[in-house]
């Protein structure tokens, strides 16, 4: 019996499941103040005798085991959560092995084990919602580094007709600043769900997302690109992104996945909305191992 936490900027998903990725019980709570949200999390797990807990968290987070702030959420734009000891708060109540990574790395792991990238040793998972986050598996390993990649904050070329300043509090017009859900709402005055029939909205969105995915392909050469999050539920976005990626690559990457089968290469999550929480189960299983 394993516990899983997908900690997102808008909501927390908690689950009980097993090492095969099966989810037996699932609950969702809004992400509010840490004290209130964590009380819900602890109450959810208290009746269950879990062997380990996996956490995939919004970030930035400290993933260095030798760091005094290992397991913390660090310089997040969500001020109430800055410098929050996430792993410590869970361990205080549940003294079991804990696997900890970013929410998008967890989602990439879930998709690689049981979803759209099953059987592959590399993939990239991109979520586009409240923020933009990207996780990656390279040669079978989750990608880390100084901390972990922050590919949602990469710089992008501005569209020549776009004068929007961007919403990222750190970088202004980075990818997240220009193409996240809040960026769509701020730029157009309505939430994305209310703009479904506005073609110009999604052409501009695809313009930015495709630039980022093109760069990810050129840098990491993933064998599958998986796109999730609330914005990607607009079904007309992904075909536009694929077309822009092909145009931007300009035939330089000579592989059938790009040239002929891009519909099978840049895809939606095979696990749907459970990619992150399933990946957290995989993190819990790895913590035991």
Residues 44-64 pLDDT 10s? 999 999 999 999 999 999 999
CATH fold of 115-265: Nucleotidyltransferase; domain 5 (3.30.420)
Residues written for the chain: 289
Pinpoint the residues of the chain covered by CATH 3.30.420.40.
1-101+271-285, 115-265
Strands 84-85 and 132-138: unpaired
**In this prediction, what percent of the chain has a pLDDT beyond 70?**
100
As given in the structure block, the two tokens for residue 161 are 């007709």
Cα–Cα nearest to 135, from 180, 173, 101: 101
How far apart CA 155 and CA 251 sit, in angstroms, is 23
- Using CA atoms, how far residue 244 sits from 129, 199, 259, in Å, is 20, 15, 12
How far apart CA 139 and CA 133 sit, in angstroms, is 20
Residues 163-191 as b/e (b if ≥16 CB within 10 A, e otherwise) read ebebbbeeeebbbbbbbbbbbbbebbeee
Residue 70: strand, helix, or coil? coil
pLDDT digit string, tens, across residues 167-189 = 999 999 999 999 999 999 999 99
pLDDT digit string, tens, across residues 257-274 = 999 999 999 999 999 999
Helix ranges (H only) for 20-145 are: 34-45, 86-91, 103-114
pLDDT digit string, tens, across residues 196-208 = 999 999 999 999 9
77 pLDDT more than 90: no
Domain 1-101+271-285 in CATH 3.30.420.40? The answer is yes
For the segment 123-142, the average pLDDT, to the nearest whole number, is 97
- What lies within 8 Å, CB to CB, of 15 at 6+ separation is 3, 4, 6, 23, 24, 25, 26, 27, 277, 280, 281
For the segment 134-145, the average pLDDT, to the nearest whole number, is 97
- Cβ atoms of residues 184 and 195 within 8 Å: yes
pLDDT confidence of residue 55: 98
147 pLDDT more than 90: no
pLDDT confidence of residue 247: 98
Instruction: Label residue 71 by pLDDT band (50, 70, 90).
Output: very high
How far apart CA 144 and CA 157 sit, in angstroms, is 26
Backbone dihedral angles phi then psi of residue 267, each to the nearest 5 degrees: -135, 170
- What lies within 8 Å, CB to CB, of 13 at 6+ separation is 4, 5, 6, 26, 27, 28, 276, 277
pTM of the model: 0.96
């Amino acid at each position: 019996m394993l516990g899983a936490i997908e900690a997102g900027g808008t909501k927390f998903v908690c689950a009980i499941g097993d090492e095969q990725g099966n989810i037996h019980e699932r609950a969702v709570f809004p992400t509010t103040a840490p004290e209130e949200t964590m009380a819900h999390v602890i109450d959810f797990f208290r009746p269950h005798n879990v062997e380990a807990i996996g956490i995939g968290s919004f970030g930035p987070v400290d993933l260095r085991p030798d760091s005094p702030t290992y397991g913390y959420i660090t310089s997040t734009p969500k001020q109430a959560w800055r410098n929050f000891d996430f792993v410590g708060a869970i361990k205080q109540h549940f003294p079991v092995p804990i696997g900890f990574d970013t929410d998008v790395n967890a989602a990439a792991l879930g998709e690689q084990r049981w979803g759209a990238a099953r059987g592959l040793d590399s993939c990239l998972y991109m979520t586009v919602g409240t923020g933009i986050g990207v996780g990656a598996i390279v040669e079978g390993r989750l990608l880390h580094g100084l901390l972990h990649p922050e590919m949602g904050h990469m710089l992008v070329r501005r569209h020549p007709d776009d004068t929007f300043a961007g919403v990222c509090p750190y970088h202004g017009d980075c990818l997240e600043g220009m193409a996240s859900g809040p960026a769509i709402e701020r730029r157009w005055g309505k939430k994305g769900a209310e703009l479904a029939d506005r073609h110009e909205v999604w052409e501009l969105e695809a313009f930015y997302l495709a630039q980022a995915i093109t760069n990810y392909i050129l840098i990491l050469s993933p064998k599958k690109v998986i796109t999730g999050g609330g914005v990607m539920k607009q079904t007309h976005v992904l075909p536009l992104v694929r077309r822009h990626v092909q145009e931007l690559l300009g035939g330089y990457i000579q592989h059938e996945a790009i040239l002929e089968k891009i519909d099978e290469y840049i895809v939606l999550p095979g696990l749907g909305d459970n990619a992150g929480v399933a990946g957290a189960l995989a993190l819990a299983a790895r913590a035991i191992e």
